Amino acid sequence: MTSITSDQVSGNIFVVGFGDGAVRAYDRRQPQHEGMVMAWKKHKSWVQNVRMQRGGFRELVSGSVDGIIKIWDVRRQEALHTIAAHDPISALDVHHHAPVVAW
């Protein structure tokens, strides 16, 4: 596990980034063995950070150290947008209320 985030309202949904490039979403209201509700394996390197935007339940940003940033709707298998930063990234964050991503 390289990073973790959760929805800011109830904390029921949390998303975890991994060193193998995977991003997985879990719902803690589900039984333990059924808790993983979504898995994405679209990054090809270490996931630097995952961040859900505060106040939302669907918006997720993930960024890997190779400079690939993906914007997700957690209900879908494919990313809504992919951004190539053209350089490796060492940090990634999302503004709590505005649609702004910084790396």
| Residue 74: predicted pLDDT | 87
| Separation CA 93–CA 32 (nearest Å) | 29
How many CB atoms lie under 10 A from the CB of residue 20? 12
pLDDT of residue 55: 65
Please indicate whether residue 51 or residue 97 has the higher confidence score (pLDDT).
51
Per-residue pLDDT at 60: 92
Average pLDDT, the chain: 91
| Tens digit of each residue's pLDDT (9 = 90 or more) over 51-96 | 987 766 678 999 999 999 999 998 899 999 999 998 999 999 988 8
* Ordered structural domains, the chain, with CATH: 3-102 (2.40.10.480)
pLDDT at 30 over 90: yes
CA-to-CA dists, residue 51 to 8, 23, 95, angstroms: 11, 11, 10
Predicted TM-score (pTM) of this structure = 0.89
Q: Cβ distance 75 to 55 under 8 Å? A: no
Strands (E), 1-103: 3-6, 13-17, 23-27, 36-40, 47-52, 59-64, 68-73, 81-84, 93-94, 101-102
